[in-house]
Structure 1
Amino acid sequence: MSTSITDLAKAMAGAWNAGETERVIALAGQATPADEEDEGVQVLLGLAQQATGRHRQAAATFRRLAQMRPGVSAYWNNLAVACRQAGDLPAAEQALLTALALAPDDAEVHYNLGLLYTQQQRWILARQTLLDAVALDPHFIEARLQAAYACYVCGDNTQQEAMLGGASDWPAQPAEQALVLSAMLSVQGNLDAALHTLAHAQLPDEPAAGVMRLRIAAQRVLLFERNNRIDAAQDELRRLPPDVLDALPADAQRARADGWRAHAALAMRRGAYAEADALYRRVLACAGDDESQASAAFGLASALDRQGLYPEAWQALQKAHATQLEIARNVVPELLATDSQPLQVTSGSVEQAARADWKPLSSPGSRQSPVFVVGFPRSGTTLLEQMLDAHPDFQSMDERAYIHDLIEGMELVGQRYPADLASLTQQDADQLRSVYRRMVGEVLPELGERRLVDKNPLNMLCLPMIMRLFPNARIILCLRHPCDVLLSCSMQPFRSPAFMVLCSSLQRLARGYAKAFEQWHRDVERFAPHVLEWRYESVVSQFDDQVARLGPFLEIADTSPMTRFAEHARHKRFISTPSYAQVTEGVHRKAVGRWQNYREQFVPVLPVLQPWIDRLGYTV
């Protein structure tokens, strides 16, 4: 007796609902030619094939469905997912674009297209497509997570933070995604949420679960170290005994690399540089992705530098930067041209005549305005920020790009920056200040009467915006020998793709440094802001005298709490910049003149830097 189409579909649906995917496929094998025209039979067969890893067969099934019913976007969407899983990415993209044309408001289609772009490392497209998915369905957790990661890769900290809003309340994530989520939450300074995410990660079946536990333990070590909780990191490291890492199977290279990286990070913190050197080499031998390779190469360079092995350290840095350039190539390929300008803000300036045309506007006084800490990165801005934050009258918000965000906001509504600052009305300026304060309030809800410290080094390139909104603000320009600045930048694994490019060579860095200071001095001449120059070398050699200078400038009587910044930084735990460990150690001279160890590498760029070395009062 033959089974009718309806009965076959019903039997397959029963098996599917019972989780018997192999039986679904077996029942489909009984289908007659007439049965094969039944949509229900084909849909269940395709889903079962997909669930059991038969991706090519699933693609063939969904392709047939899409041909049978070309107007059904779900069939094209399913076809795309099967093609992506089978490795046929061009076919997946074509199917998704068809699905998107049929259902432009379907968040799942946008999400799957974003996943495809992520797999292809087309990060700009991935970021926007995933953000579109979230805009269509704000409660789509998987889309928020993937959008946040795409923003993370693209260096879009503001949108990343927005995507992760409420992440501490998300349901438990599969372990692989939990590792990504916890890393992003840690970057935002939310250690508790990061640890919670790891604690509730959904583990795969054994033996993969055992390997994943090692990766989670390694992540916890790095989270604790990054938040200056060294004792907790050492305790967690006991879960990663070297013999266990050595005994891992060949297909567990990721876990092995994560484990050795955790050991290396703590070896660096206790000053065991030769041990860290050997450990980072182990990481490099087994790390498979560019980000891990670059991170390990930067770590190795630091360990070699601390041992005085300067040529070897420079060689490791070249490997690190070459790897980072490959990451940046997929995000900002236009910046890889030799004449590119990674510091995009330097393109705008205000001429003296245009400055004279600015309409006078009511604005806050100095004590109601933020204190802006600026300077080229690695000039001592974090050190000063922590000093100010240690004073009860001030509070810093860690490094935020809110002034840059205001500039982007102007440009998004068709206003030209900085030219259209001249035509801002009182209402416009008040609204921009309100937006700024709202963003600040989200990270510092208890700021109260304390004065905000806005430390972002490259706000030095945003002086026109600062002077339009806060013309009475106190601005502290951090200075350090240009060669020491460039060396320190070269040795840091910056996350921003633009900074990856900028720091990829001393030549690019030197040009960027010169252009940044050209704009700064041009803008200072135009606006005459209240600026205090804060020289790193003077701070480490005359600490008390330099701290005393802050009192009159910031209009405070007692600066003594600032001298206890190292203890304050240790209690604060999370500090987002690469100086998170150094500022807990107090002031020392080890970083002064460090570039002389690499003088041979600096000789070609000294002609670019010499005018600024002279103008800032330094020597070579």
Structure 2
Amino acid sequence: MSQSFGMCENLCKRIESIQPGNPDVANMRGGMCLATSRPEDGMLFFRQAVKQAPRRYEFRINLGFVLLETGRADEALVEYQEAERLKPNEQQALLGACRALQALGRNAEAGEYLRRVQKQQLTNAEDALMLAIACRDLGYTHEALKSFVALLIRFPGHLRGQYEKAATEMQVGDMSAAQASLEQLLSLRPDHAPALALLAEIKMPSSADDPMIGAIHRALEHIAPDSPERVDLHVALAKCLQRLHDYDAAFLHFRMANEIRAKHSTYNAAAELAHLDEIGRCFTARVLEHRGSVDADAPVFIVGMPRCGSTLTEQILAAHPECSGRGESSMFENALASLHPDKGLTLEEMAKFSPTQWMRIGTLYVERLYASGPVCKRITDKSLSNIRMLGAIHCALPHARIIHVRRHPLDTCLSIFTSNLSGSSYDYGLRLDTLGMYYRQYLSLMQHWRKILPAESFYELRYEDLVERQEDETRRLLEFCGLGWSDQCLEFQNAGHRVETASIMQVRQSMYSKSVDRWKRYEKELAPLIEMLGTEYPSLS
């Protein structure tokens, strides 16, 4: 495969030397970059193709796709809408705009695009797949599952369709259906790495000779040592070994998966830590004095490190009849960016915002929050990246509540290291040293927010306390949110809410304590982290 891409790359260079500025060559090179897991490089080539031939529909579609995949939903939306102007009602453009709007938290507008697509006859498998995924991402899970079934009837053996159907079944808690879908997929493609990884979440291996473990080993034999395709397989094998209590071998495979990802990562630890430090320097108590006057008190922001118990906390609150959960979204970040859509905002600029500017941001956020789902007395937003924005959140929404969920540092870090979290924003967790440094900086930032945010707006919850004293801690949590008692909050696992995070299996069960002190099983392997963070876990008092 790599030899074929090399030959194609050389051919493109030859054509470029004869015809400089050929947009088709730029587009082709962008596609090769995507095929070899280099989306940032691909984006540069697709931008070049669009610049050279701005009225080529397919170039706009390709650029929109890579922008969306790299987290630039606002730019992707522009490209998809421009593509739709070039070819009105084309399905790819409509679906792309729908996905971009959903990523921006503009669900009502996304739904309008979705309905336009649903009125059309989809003629190819990829558009049908994107339609089903769009339905799921907008929360229409019943429609999504019907669309996946229709796709697989029309295009039997469509592997990604089968995989996404299984993922959707997991999200709604139908684990037996998900397992059946995955096993059907693996009967068609036994070495399908993502399917094996997902099945390892559901199915308990009986022994080291379990057929699933054998299938993972066989799949690994046919993939190059540093290929990103190995990551899911190493993670799947690690989870199987973990369930068989072979913790040394499990950790080895978690480490191997992370080492492969780290080789393909551009993570800059020094820049990341400097940015976190700069947030605390720029957002002082004096900045908070210039907050806006938005009086909405529905938003409840749940923050913390990944794998800290934030999903559990949101599921408990969302089980309350007067609360609705929005999960992880980038709505606040996008509302903030909308103030200067043509250029990125600096921390220094935000620190100088007037009350009027903060009010505009808060008003826009609330409008999008209400448009993105059911409107209740309280609406949760558990975007963990909001730990960076708590000062801005308070300035824009002074009546919003903030819940900081904490978990033992070593349990938190171990869970990050072993969860294969998707997205480059979590690449600090690929190595124990960068993970430890990031965690220490996170503690420093949260201490800063603790000092300057009003006590009545800021609540801290320890995951271990919630597990040990579920009802008492749930009552305190509801009291902080201004909600009365509901027995449904104790049966959160039966609420039927869709869950997209890595905690999907845990929140489908009643409260349990087996994740407490999990780090002790890996104490030897975590020695570098223990040296940095210690083993103490101070109480909230």
Q: Is 1:471 the counterpart of 2:391 in the alignment?
A: no
Aligned to 1:552: 479
Q: Which residue of 1 aligns with 2:202?
A: 269
Tell me, yes or no, if the aligned pair for 1:359 and 1:423 is still in contact at 8 Å: no
Which of 497, 503, 514 is the matching residue for 1:579? 503
How many residues align? The count is: 497
SS in 2 for 1:515: helix
**In 1: Cα distance, 2:537 partner to 2:183 partner:** 52
Q: Determine whether 1:508 maps to 2:467.
A: no
Shift in alpha-carbon separation, 1:410–1:321, aligned structure 2, 3 A = farther
2:100 to 137, 157, 162: 162
In the TM superposition, what is the alpha-carbon distance from 1:282 to its structure 2 partner?
A: 3.5
RMSD: 4.0
Distance 1:462 1:176, change over 3 A: same
The alignment status of 1:196 with 2:133, answered yes or no, reads no
Secondary structure of the structure 2 residue equivalent to 1:537 = helix
Where do 5+ consecutive residues of structure 2 fail to align?
77-95, 103-109
- 2:513 maps to 589
CA contact (8 A) 2:166 2:178 kept: yes
CA contact (8 A) 2:148 2:162 kept: no
Report how far residue 524 of structure 1 moved: 2.4
Contact 1:547 1:559 in 2 (8 A): no
Matched AA of 2:438: G
- 5+ residue gaps, structure 1: 1-55, 57-81, 101-107, 204-208, 246-254
Q: 1:456 aligns with which of 383, 386, 405?
A: 383
Q: Is the 8 A contact 1:359 1:422 kept in 2?
A: no
Q: Distance in 1 between matches of 2:140 and 2:223?
A: 27
Does residue 307 of the first structure (1) align with residue 236 of the second (2)?
no
The reply on whether 1:355 has 2:288 as its aligned counterpart is no
Number of the residue aligned with 2:217: 281
Which letter maps to 1:590?
K
Q: Distance in 1 between matches of 2:494 and 2:13?
A: 55
Task: Give CA deviations for 1:355-380 in whole Å, capped at 9, x if unaligned.
Answer: 33655455244x62411101111110
CA contact (8 A) 1:264 1:279 kept: no
In structure 2, do the counterparts of structure 1 residues 199 and 323 end up closer, same or farther at CA, with 3 Å as the change threshold?
A: farther
**2-side partners of 1:213 and 1:234: how far apart?**
17
CA–CA distance in structure 2, aligned partners of residues 555 and 498 of structure 1:
33
Match of 1:123 among 39, 60, 68: 39
Q: Contact conserved, 1:476 with 1:532, CA < 8 A, in 2?
A: yes
- Three-state SS of the structure 1 residue aligned to 2:460 is strand
2:13 matched residue in structure 1: 90
Is residue 394 of structure 1 aligned with residue 323 of structure 2?
A: yes
Verify: 1:521 aligned to 2:447, yes or no. yes
Q: C-alpha separation between the residues in 1 aligned to 2:293 and 2:365?
A: 14
- Taking a change above 3 Å as real, the CA distance of residues 91 and 407 of structure 1, as seen in their structure-2 partners, is farther
Which digits, 9 at most, give the CA deviation of each residue in 1:520-541, with x for residues without a partner? 2113212335221111111111
Secondary structure at the aligned position of 1:368 is classed as: coil
Shift in CA distance, 321/373, structure 1 to aligned 2, threshold 3 Å? same
* 1:185-227 Cα deviation digits (max 9, x unpaired): 7566565447636744899xxxxx87x4466545533443344
CA contact (8 A) 1:111 1:133 kept: yes
- Cα distance change, pair 183–439 in 1 and its aligned pair in 2 (3 A): same
- Does structure 2 conserve the Cα–Cα contact (< 8 Å) formed by 1:187 and 1:576? no
The correspondence of residues 478-489 of structure 1 with structure 2, limited to 5 A, is: 478-489=405-416
Give matches, 1:92-491, under 5 Å.
Answer: 98-99=21-22, 112=28, 114-119=30-35, 121-127=37-43, 130=46, 140=57, 143-144=60-61, 147-149=64-66, 151-152=68-69, 154-156=70-72, 159=76, 161-162=99-100, 165=110, 166=113, 169=118, 172=122, 174-175=124-125, 191=141, 192-193=143-144, 196=147, 199-200=150-151, 212-213=157-158, 216-236=161-181, 239-240=184-185, 242=187, 245=188, 255-258=189-192, 262=195, 265-266=198-199, 268-272=201-205, 274=207, 275=210, 276-286=212-222, 290-328=227-265, 333=266, 335=267, 339-341=270-272, 344-350=275-281, 355-356=285-286, 360-365=290-295, 368-409=297-338, 417-444=346-373, 446-447=374-375, 449-491=376-418
Q: 1:590 deviation in Å? A: 0.8
Structure 1: distance between partners of 2:429 and 2:135: 26
Q: Greater CA deviation, 425-434 or 368-377?
A: 425-434
Q: Tell me by how many angstroms 1:474 deviates.
A: 1.5
* Contact in 1 for aligned 2:194/2:232 (Cα 8 Å): no
Deviation at 1:183, TM superposition (A): 6.4
**Where does residue 601 of structure 1 map in the other structure?**
525
Q: Is the 8 A contact 2:204 2:240 kept in 1?
A: no
Alignment check: 8 A CA contact 2:241 2:250 kept:
yes
Q: 8 Å contact 2:428–2:435 — kept in the other structure?
A: yes
1:438-486 superposed Cα distances (whole Å, 9 cap, x missing partner): 4334532x32x43211112231221111111122222111011000000
Counterpart contact for 2:12–2:29, Cα < 8 Å: no
Q: Percent identity?
A: 20
Which residue in the other structure is 1:250 paired with?
A: none
Q: Per-residue deviation at 1:85?
A: 5.8
- With over 3 angstroms needed to count, the CA separation of the structure-2 counterparts of 1:579 and 1:132, relative to structure 1, is farther
User: What's the secondary structure of 2:516's corresponding residue?
Assistant: coil
The answer to whether the Cα contact below 8 Å between 1:93 and 1:116 also exists between their aligned partners in 2 is no
Give me the whole-angstrom Cα distance separating, in 2, the residues matched to 1:426 and 1:350: 20
CA distance in 2, matches of 1:608, 1:594: 18
Aligned residues of 1:172 and 1:202 also touching (Cα < 8 A): no
Question: For 1:12-37, what per-residue CA distance to the aligned partner results, in whole angstroms no more than 9, with x for missing partners?
Answer: xxxxxxxxxxxxxxxxxxxxxxxxxx
CA distance in 1, matches of 2:274, 2:134: 24
SS in 1 for 2:430: coil
Alpha-carbon spacing, 1:162–1:267, altered in 2? closer, same or farther (3 Å) = closer
- Aligned-partner Cα distance in 2 for 1:263–1:520: 38
Q: 1:285 Cα deviation (Å)?
A: 3.3
- The change in CA–CA distance for 1:172 and 1:132 in structure 2 (over 3 A counts) is farther
Contact kept, 8 Å, 1:227 with 1:575, in 2: the verdict is: yes
Q: Give the aligned partner of residue 467 of structure 2.
A: 540
Distance verdict in 2 for CA 1:475–1:184, change over 3 Å? same
One-letter amino acid matched to 1:123: P
Cα distance between partner residues in 2 of 1:150 and 1:360: 35
Q: Secondary structure of 1:322's match?
A: helix
Report deviation, 1:147.
3.1
Q: Distance in 2 between matches of 1:217 and 1:281?
A: 22
- For 2:10 and 2:146, the matched residues in 1 are separated by 34
Higher relative contact order (CA 8 A, sep 6+): 2
Name the SS for the 2:313 alignment partner.
helix
